Chains A and B, each alone.
Chain A
Amino acid sequence: MNFDGAGTLFKKEVLRFYKVSFQTVAAPVLTAVLYLLIFGHVLEEHVQVYPGVAYTSFLIPGLVMMSVLQNAFANSSSSLIQSKITGNLVFLLVTPLSHWAWFAAYVGAAMLRGLAVGLGVFLVTAAFAPPRLEAPLWIVVFAVLGAGMLGALGLIAGLWAEKFDQMAAFQNFIIMPMTFLSGVFYSVHSLPGFWQGVSHLNPFFYMIDGFRHGFFGVGDVSPWTSLAVVGTSFLVVAGIALQLLRSGYKLRH
């Protein structure tokens, strides 16, 4: 593999969001803090999800993970669709870079942005409620896997979408509902039985739950179950993304 080439593409993808980091990193951190301030303020007195865990503390890991996922998705998807629509993707299409190189660079940069935003949210929200870190390794594992899966999903969306409104539809009708219905703001145990069942079909639920387990040492399901589901989902999504790249789907006609 052309590691220098893949490394250059990774660096370019990182520079792309780094050069506008006020918009790509600082803005999503602010959004997450606003969620924390408002939901935390409104619900702090009324909701206790786990015994001995204040609602604000419960909410923080969910917000961190949501930021990781949304920003990883946003990075690869918006980079690809912008390059496709402005036409500068041709500079990449004429290079000897393989589908592995494309995948590694786009997903790697997406993970970096997702994790950077997640870290930012974590550091800022830590000021509101001192974090508990019961099992830090789970935190890292789920953050990395979740960022990788959403980076790969963003790659698929970026390849598929031909216009910005198709991309917006993918984001608003698939990514947003799956994120919000994954238990960021609540424990799925508080849901009626049917919706608990539906939640258990959502891979995003396992990402958030496994990630939260790392903070509190408790969750709705075992972290090993979450790891199995999230790991499998990542492999499936990555496999699809690689196959689309290899076949030149909507890239080479």
Chain B
Amino acid sequence: MPAVSFQEVSKTYNTFRGTFQALDDVSFDIGRGEFFGLLGPNGAGKTTLISILAGLNRASAGRVTVMGHDVVLDYAQARKQLGIVPQELVFDPFFSVRETLRIQSGYFGVKNNDDWIDELLYELGLEDKAGANMRQLSGGMKRRVLVAQALVHRPPVIVLDEPTAGVDVELRQTLWQFIAKLNRQGHTVLLTTHYLEEAEALCHRIAMLKRGRIVALDRTANLLAGTASTMLRFKTDDALPPELAPQARVTGRIVQLKAHDAAEVETLLAALRQAQVRVEELEIGRADLEDVFIEIMQGAEQPAAQGVAV
């Protein structure tokens, strides 16, 4: 039995402008103990999918289970298995950090939970904030409390929706160390993030969503291997020759060009030399998840490549 199972999930919103299909026949499973990444551009349907999993939204069609429990028919059991860290930085201004955690624990019927609450406060660096009112906390501290709230009832499945958006480096590290530890202890983790290096470093498997459809679903290693494996990176102030410009990814002065093999690297360099482009800090490296992501998002309309289901 998978930890999480999405079966032919569709979601249609009726708006003033007509119907909007947020999710279109999404199916995949997340195994127990997996660290799973859900990636996609803004508006791809990631949060909608997670909201359906959490019971915040309802699917128009299809079925979702958590540890075998249907999120609609058996919602109480399904929600006990889930800990959700929401994307928005929300809090209840009436309570302190410890009160917030005790209340959240109580909702799940878990009483006398202070040992675990203390451990959460320690792991997330919140020990000295336990008595502070939620209003007094900085954004990063509030984010930590959100994580603690999601974990307070010891759920086997943890869902993190963009947990590191706008978060400083220190918290990111604290958070990932803690989540990785929980994952090693057997917790299943579902993560959505915009930081692709985080997904590449942490996730065993990755699904990519675009306009409500799954456009890629594979092990992270396979996704990295299945695409153009070499990237030519350099800095320049000159314009690229017209034959290279369309395939280049330009970020400020940094230019990245895909190459499938050594011969193609030579061809690219020859073209640059011929166009008298002054190249600085040239390096040849492996493609990373960002390259894969961009390639898949651009190619999503075209027929399926290896390891990519359209």
Contacts and interface: CB of A to CB of B under 8 A. Distances in A.
B90 A96 contact: no
Interface in B43-88: 54-58, 75-77, 79-80, 82, 84, 86, 88
Interface residues of B, number: 31
B93 A90 contact: no
Contacts, number: 79
Interface string A1-45: 010110111011001100110000000000000000000000000
Contacts of A4: 106, 109-111
Given A93-B56, A94-B54, A94-B82, A15 B106 contact: no
Given A91-B92, A91-B149, A96 B79 contact: yes
B94 A15 contact: yes
B109 A2 contact: yes
A74 to B, nearest CB: 16
A190 interface: no
A2 B109 CA distance: 7
Given A2-B76, A95-B79, A8 B107 contact: yes
A253 B106 contact: no
A86 B101 CA distance: 18
A90 B92 CA distance: 11
Interface residues of A, number: 28
A5 B84 CA distance: 18
B108 A95 contact: yes
Nearest to A93: B56
A2 B106 CA distance: 10
B104 interface: yes
B277 interface: no
A193 interface: no
Contacts of B297: none
B106 A248 contact: no
A16 B110 CA distance: 21
A53 B54 CA distance: 59
B91 interface: yes
Interface of A: 2, 4-5, 7-9, 11-12, 15-16, 19-20, 83, 86-88, 90-98, 248, 252-253
25 contacts: A4-B106, A4-B111, A5-B107, A8-B106, A9-B106, A11-B106, A16-B94, A20-B94, A86-B91, A87-B88, A88-B92, A90-B86, A91-B90, A91-B104, A92-B107, A93-B54, A93-B55, A94-B55, A94-B84, A96-B76, A96-B107, A248-B58, A252-B56, A252-B57, A253-B56
Interface of B: 13, 54-58, 75-77, 79-80, 82, 84, 86, 88, 90-95, 99, 103-104, 106-111, 149
8 nearest A-B residue pairs (beta carbon): A8-B106, A96-B76, A87-B90, A95-B107, A4-B109, A88-B92, A96-B79, A88-B90
